[in-house]
Structure 1
Amino acid sequence: MVASDHFEASYLIETPLDPLDVAEVMAGEQSCGTFTRVEGETDALRARARASVTGVVELPAVDQPSLPNAWLRRKGATGPYRRARVTISFPVANVGANLPTLASVVAGNLYDLGEVTGLRLEQITLPAAYRARFDSPKQGIAGTRRLTGVRSGALVGSIIKPNVGLDADETAALVARLCAAGVDFIKDDEISADPDHAPLAKRIPAVMAAIRRHRDSTGKHVMMAFNITDETDAMRRHADLIAQHGGSCAMVSLNWCGFSAVTTLRRSSDLALHGHRNGFGAISRHPLLGIGFQPYQTLWRLAGVDHMHVHGLQGKFAQEDDEVVESARDCVTPLTEGCDDRVLPAFSSGQSAATVQATYDAIGHADLLFMAGGGIMAHPGGPAAGVSSIRQAWDAVTSGVSLEQAAGVHPELRQALASFGRTG
């Protein structure tokens, strides 16, 4: 267990040098030191402020470096290139409740260190008292269920497609069609925020009018995640507009808005914040560079997001299914004991009734948002049949019934499996 006055970060490193020596360089670089001891760096200061290496586990070496390194080339250092998992403990007092600085400590200049040919942040562990100093989701899983009226089971969602080009009225008409089809959740695409042809000032009122009409006739509130990605003042203004028109959710492209903007938005709005991770692949796909999903989602949960994208099983993106599953588990695992700061994992990318079995088999629960574009809109029976097929699939797998059995009594599911493939 991490000490109450320290937080820990774990890394995978690669280096031709002694991994223990490199770990000490990392600890010094990201706390009170640099590559050599300097004037003013007293023993008392180091005892108070220096990070410490708490673990080094060496792994099998490799013959070739994962990344080029001019510093090592100038030093004449060559392989073998040793790999190790390194854990470093940092004093909380060095950072305080400052999320951008926390991120720069655990994932900053370390990537440029001359001693490494690979470095990846794999985990962040926080003491409970430190976690409590940051923001938490205002809605999370429980709040999202309350706002949508979906008390149990997977929430079924879809995405506005075409993702760009529709004007405000056309978007509202599509939303009305999806509401009638029976979805719980609809979201904008990440590349459609405040375009000239459908500005949020027009789109929000038009779309929410359609959602209110559906609510008035059915009693169901469909959650619409408007993409308000922008500079901070614009996001706050658009979040206020959503709330004024009875909306319950805003979507933000996390990587491009940044920790400060999202934290400010969180503190100024009670809307559910749907965190879209587009761009995450640029910092995660190389196995010896960047940041894994566990520390990534940890940092964004400290900003107070309520939903996190994890992609989807057997989907159209590059991630292995195991990575998707582990990401979903991270979202529903409290960061510290006794704190319900779980966020709703949002599955998307190539999802349909045909991927439900694999999803449930892998994660074993239905506390998730299951979004399908083509799996709903391209269903041969139409969008309503697409939604029904997904609900039928989830009802079946959570009851221990195979999709093949359920398809025997549900034509919508049978059509979905025939159209999208039985991939589970």
Structure 2
Amino acid sequence: MRDQRVVRCTYYLESDIEPERAAAALAGEQSSGTFVPVPGESDRIRERHAAQVVEVRELGRRSPSLPSRTRPREVRASLAVIEFPMENIGTDLATLQTTVAGNLFELGDLFACRLRDIDLPEEFVAAHAGPAFGVPGTRRLLGGAEGVMVGTIVKPNVGLAEDEFRRVVRELARASIDLIKDDELMTDPAYLPLEKRVAVATEEIRAAEQLTGHPTMYAFNITGDLAGLRRRHDLVVEAGGRCVMLNVPVMGLPALAWLREFSEVPVHGHRAGLAGAMRSPALGMSYRVWQRLARLAGADHLHVSGLGSKFYETDDEVADHVRSLFEPLGDTLRPVPTLSSGQNVTTPAPTYAAVGSTDLLMLAGGGVAAHPDGPAAGVRSLRAAWAAAVDGTPLERAAREAADAGDTALLHAVRAFEKGA
């Protein structure tokens, strides 16, 4: 009997053959079929294990988006909904990704192939624990932090000597910031090894907390060889660190899922490299698909880019990324959408208007470090900008009112970043 539990995928396709044939070729390639009949491909196997095309909607003709062996002047675009029996996949994330986003991208008859959406069976979702901390656990580790959590990145991102790194962390921790993170490029270089960064950062954060009373989380980048992943995690935890960071597209979903099994602290999920599989609307997968897999694998924080970003996504696309992380996924905790790239006091208002939530982490590099009055004023200005956004107070008015009350941090930030915008 055919498994009624199915993984339902929606693909955007372009082909120089009929869209129905193109969808059938994809379904066959990713299940029991081959391009020619083979011995042993029985009716029983086809009935039980073949992926099924359940809908094809033609979108018209257009120029091909991707190169292939042939170069037609025109191809037929379509949306195809294909169902894969869960029996083929089980509950393994790597097998799922191989099935729904694997060899199909190489099919010569396809001049575009993008996985736009995925619906997973309840049994598949329930087989994965999801984030261990998510929004509530992260807030708890930050002393019950309310509103948008404010973070930053150590800059310069590479090349700092130990004493330079110490000064940067000291200044940021004493600014009562919620989270400091390693840059994705900073892993375990000989000039400033992870072990040394952990020792220095935890020491400076503990000292700052004695002065400010404000807990700060540092996301240490433990991306690297798989064999050493647990050792690097343990190094952070034994020193009193509160967060580890993993470059998920580089390390892969199975590495993230393994880290989730033993991690004692939140996992900050970076997305460096994801655009290689996401940027082209004709290839790879959408963020909506990727975030579901990363959530099931256990990421507590997930990068979404940012409104007004230096990166390629439009503000509408970024807002959709954030909203997708708010959607229920079985009984799993919600991860923290992490805004980054070009974030400063001008971005809270449009961000709040677009997503209507403060369950966010805003990473502001220049928005903190480049504040004309220093990082502490940068952190205060961002919190003030978020408070204004939530209250519906125009930024300029909030800045003037705060300055009249004696705090010029927001006013100076508005002048600095609106001028530079």
Bin the TM-score by the shorter chain. Answer: over 0.9
Q: Name the residue aligned to 2:33.
A: 33
- Residue 64 of structure 2 aligns with which residue? 65
Say whether residues 1:341 and 2:333 are aligned partners: yes
State how far apart, in whole Å, the 1-side matches of 2:189 and 2:17 are: 51
Q: Deviations over 1:196-254 (max 9, x none)?
A: 11101111111111111223343322110001111123221111111111111111111
SS state of the match for residue 181, structure 1?
A: coil
Of 240, 256, 262, 1:268 maps to 262
Does the 8 A contact of 1:12 with 1:84 survive in 2?
yes
Alignment pair present for 1:15 and 2:15: yes
Q: 2:174–2:211: 8 Å Cα contact kept in structure 1?
A: no
Return the alpha-carbon distance in structure 1 between the equivalents of residues 4 and 215 of structure 2: 42
Structure-1 residue corresponding to 2:251: 257
Alpha-carbon separation, structure 1, partners of 2:163 and 2:297:
33
Does 2:279 align with 1:282? no
Give the Cα separation in 1 of the matches to 2:35 and 2:128. Answer: 32
Alpha-carbon contact 2:12-2:282 (below 8 Å) kept: yes
Between the aligned partners of 2:210 and 2:9, the Cα distance in structure 1 is 50
SS at match of 2:348: helix
1:106-117 aligned within 5 A = 106-117=100-111
One-letter amino acid matched to 2:413: A
Q: Residues 341 and 36 of structure 1: is their aligned pair in 2 closer, same or farther, counting only changes over 3 Å?
A: farther
Look up the equivalent residue of 1:192 and give its one-letter code: M
Question: How far 1:423 sits from its partner (Å)?
Answer: 9.8
Is the contact between residue 169 and residue 206 of structure 1 (CA under 8 Å) also seen in structure 2? no
Q: 1:371 aligns with which of 342, 350, 363?
A: 363
Question: Does 2:144 match 1:145?
Answer: no
Partner Cα separation in structure 1 for residue 328 and residue 169 of structure 2: 34
Q: Is the 8 A contact 2:174 2:209 kept in 1?
A: no
297-306 vs 215-224, greater mean Cα deviation: 215-224
Counterpart of 1:413 (choices 404, 410, 413) is 410
- Closer, same or farther: CA 4–243 of 1 in aligned 2, 3 Å: farther
Q: Is 2:204 the partner of 1:210?
A: yes
1:2-40 per-position Cα deviation (integer Å, ceiling 9, x unaligned): x96111111111112111111111111111111133211
Query: Across the two proteins, how many residue pairs are aligned to each other?
Result: 414
Bigger mean CA deviation after superposition, 107-116 or 53-62: 53-62
What CA distance in whole angstroms lies between the structure 2 residues aligned with 1:176 and 1:363? 33
Residue 27 and residue 334 in structure 1: after superposition, are their counterparts in 2 closer, same or farther (change >3 A)? same
Tell me, yes or no, if structure 1 residue 246 matches structure 2 residue 204: no
Name 1:127's counterpart in structure 2: 121
Once structures 1 and 2 are overlaid, which stretch shifts more, 163-172 or 141-150? 163-172
Superimposed CA distance per residue, residues 381-406 of structure 1 (whole angstroms, 9 cap, x where no aligned partner): 11111111100011111112121220
Contiguous gaps of at least 5 residues in structure 2: 403-407
Q: Tell me which of 304, 319, 332 is aligned to 1:325.
A: 319
- The alignment status of 1:172 with 2:169, answered yes or no, reads no
Cα offset for 1:123? Answer: 1.2
Alpha-carbon distance between aligned partners in 1 of 2:46 and 2:419, rounded to the nearest angstrom: 59
Query: Do the aligned partners of residues 11 and 298 (structure 1) sit closer, same or farther apart at CA in structure 2, a change above 3 Å counting?
Result: same
8 Å CA contact retained: 1:354, 1:423: no
Match for 1:226 among 217, 220, 227? 220
Q: What displacement does 1:180 show?
A: 1.1
Match of 1:6 in 2: 6
Letter in 2 for 1:69: S
Deviates more, 1:196-205 or 1:183-192: 196-205
Matched residue type, 1:112: E
Query: TM-score, normalization: structure 2?
Result: 0.95
Residues of 2 paired with 1:400 and 1:326: CA distance? 22
Moved over 4 A (4+): none
Deviation at 1:53, TM superposition (A): 1.1
Cα distance in 2 for residues equivalent to 1:89 and 1:332: 25
Q: CA deviation at 1:292?
A: 1.0
Aligned 8 A contact 1:135 1:263 in 2: no
Matched, 1:52 2:52: yes
- 1:306 maps to which of 300, 309, 331: 300
Give distance in 1, aligned partners of 2:276 and 2:32: 30
Name the SS of the counterpart of 2:392 in structure 1.
coil
1:295 Cα offset (Å): 1.0
What RMSD, in angstroms, separates the aligned Cα atoms of the two structures?
Answer: 1.7
C-alpha deviation, 1:42, in angstroms? 1.2
Letter matched to residue 47 of structure 1: E
Helix, strand or coil: the match of 1:250? strand
Query: What letter matches 1:263 in structure 2?
Result: A
Corresponding residue of 1:104: 98
**Which whole-Å deviations, capped at 9, do the CAs of 1:72-113 have from their partners, x for residues lacking one?**
45xxxx353111111111111111121111111111111111
- TM-superposition CA deviations, 1:337-386 (whole Å, max 9, x none): xx233211110101101111111111111111011011111111111111
**Are the counterparts in 2 of residues 360 and 366 from structure 1 also a CA contact under 8 Å?**
yes
Q: CA deviation at 1:422?
A: 7.7
